[in-house]
A and B are shown apart, each in its own frame.
Chain A
Amino acid sequence: MRSEWLQCTILRAASILVPSDQRAEWLHGWQSELWYITRRGATLFCLGAFRDALWLRRNSVSPVKRSRIRLESPLNCLAFLTTGAAMSVFIALRLPTPHLTPPLHLRAGDLTADYIATLMLSFAYLLALRMAIGRAAANPQPVSWRGRLRLWIFLGLKIALVQPIMFCGLAVMLVIGPVVPVAPHLGVVAIWFLTLRWIFTDQQRRCPLCLRLAIDPVRIGTPSQTFLGWYGSESMCPRGHGLLHVSEMSASYSENPHWLYLDNSWRSLFVGSAGRRQS
């Protein structure tokens, strides 16, 4: 095998994306192929490994490892965000303000105005995102107004609780700004969009009735013979309220994620699995 560190580093970095049970064989395969590649094209060749690794990650049939942080329940999710927010405020208050000599620490009062500003921006961004995506298809079983209110309250709380986390990220970026000049701008934008995107997708993947995260996704449809992959995935509400269909090929399957509500006759199938999950 070649000993060029750059190619090896690229392959090792890409291998992180590969499911752990297939990683060793995947890396072995790519390293074997690399042996045949001329020095000139080796780096370009190795960059293709990322696409292969991503494909493997997306199409792996091996069971997905459960995260140690369980955010399925809405209360767990809010508790997690509250802890993150509290830690973020603590860190932000301890950071020195940049560009000031002698460096001062931020005060709690300074944070309020920034908090309100970022909160307004977040709501505006999510509203714009919702409008850009468009309305979901008419629901054959509309959620009651109480259910809708609960959904909106949950969304509002999530948006409110991520603000300190985003602000802490911003403060960290400003502190490291003089050291790495471009990083703060990129970092702030990345933190901002990734966090809000997470809020949006998390909300879409929650059962409208019990606010629990849909679990156990399975691929649906026949694998396409084009390069576009699977049609979509189907997850289920742990309480058996319904099935969430998320499109991977919006042009041929469905534009937006949608719920297929299950009536009470299905409930007995889910009682056991919900119990096992809670234990």
Chain B
Amino acid sequence: MVDGQRLTHTTAMILQAIGAGYIYGYTVMEVTGLPSGTVYPALRRLDRDQLIRSQWEHQSIADEALRPARKYYKLTRSGQAALDASRKRYPLLAKLTPIEEVEDA
């Protein structure tokens, strides 16, 4: 089980972004303001530690939208638990609003 207290702020921010609905690398980068050299290795590490799960989009969906397939990320149960613990440690994470609220605004 992951000890949420040990997550760095950057890791927690990335988890929060994914939890908020920014589910592929580019949007995580955009919403957190972190560079690609930080976000992508972090996503890999979180995937390895089973805090998130990654999955490639079906090629047919990407072809229909005339764009390359995306790799989507989703929080796992332990990822959600780690995020909940991190929110207590880093209250400012709440400022990173879920994607629905951004779209509604």
- Which chain A residues have a beta carbon within 8 Å of chain B's beta carbons? 1, 29-33, 35-37, 44-52, 55-56, 59, 223-227
Contacts and interface: CB of A to CB of B under 8 A. Distances in A.
Given A36-B26, A225-B3, A226-B8, A48 B70 contact: no
Contact of B37 (A51, A224, A225): A51
Interface residues of B, number: 28
B36 A225 contact: no
Interface in B6-45: 6-8, 10-11, 24-26, 29, 35-42, 44-45
Given A35-B68, A36-B26, A48-B35, A227 B11 contact: yes
Contact of A33 (B7, B25, B45, B48): B25
Given A1-B68, A225-B11, A56 B44 contact: yes
Nearest to A52: B40
Which of A36, A44, A59, A224 has the largest number of chain B CB atoms within 10 A? A36
Nearest to A58: B41
Contacts of B25: 33
A47 B37 contact: yes
Given A32-B69, A36-B26, A48 B8 contact: no
Contacts of B69: 32
A258 to B, nearest CB: 26
A50 B29 CA distance: 16
A184 to B, nearest CB: 31
A52 B6 contact: no
A48 B69 CA distance: 20
A32 B41 contact: no
22 contacts: A32-B69, A32-B71, A33-B36, A44-B35, A46-B36, A48-B36, A48-B39, A49-B40, A51-B40, A52-B37, A52-B41, A55-B44, A56-B44, A223-B45, A223-B48, A224-B6, A225-B6, A225-B7, A226-B6, A226-B11, A227-B8, A227-B10
A35 B39 CA distance: 17
Given A32-B68, A52-B41, A225-B49, A45 B3 contact: no
Interface of B: 2-3, 6-8, 10-11, 24-26, 29, 35-42, 44-45, 48-49, 67-71
B55 to A, nearest CB: 12
A45 B48 contact: no
- 10 closest A-B pairs by beta carbon, nearest first, are A48-B36, A48-B37, A51-B37, A225-B6, A32-B68, A55-B41, A52-B40, A36-B26, A45-B36, A35-B68
A6 to B, nearest CB: 15
A36 B10 CA distance: 23
Contacts of B70: 32
A225 B2 contact: yes
A224 to B, nearest CB: 8
Contacts of B26: 33, 36-37
A50 B68 contact: no
Contacts of A31: 68
B67 A35 contact: yes
A180 B60 CA distance: 51
Contacts of B10: 227
A158 B7 CA distance: 44
Which of B6, B24, B40, B42 has the largest number of chain A CB atoms within 10 A? B40
A24 to B, nearest CB: 13
B64 to A, nearest CB: 15
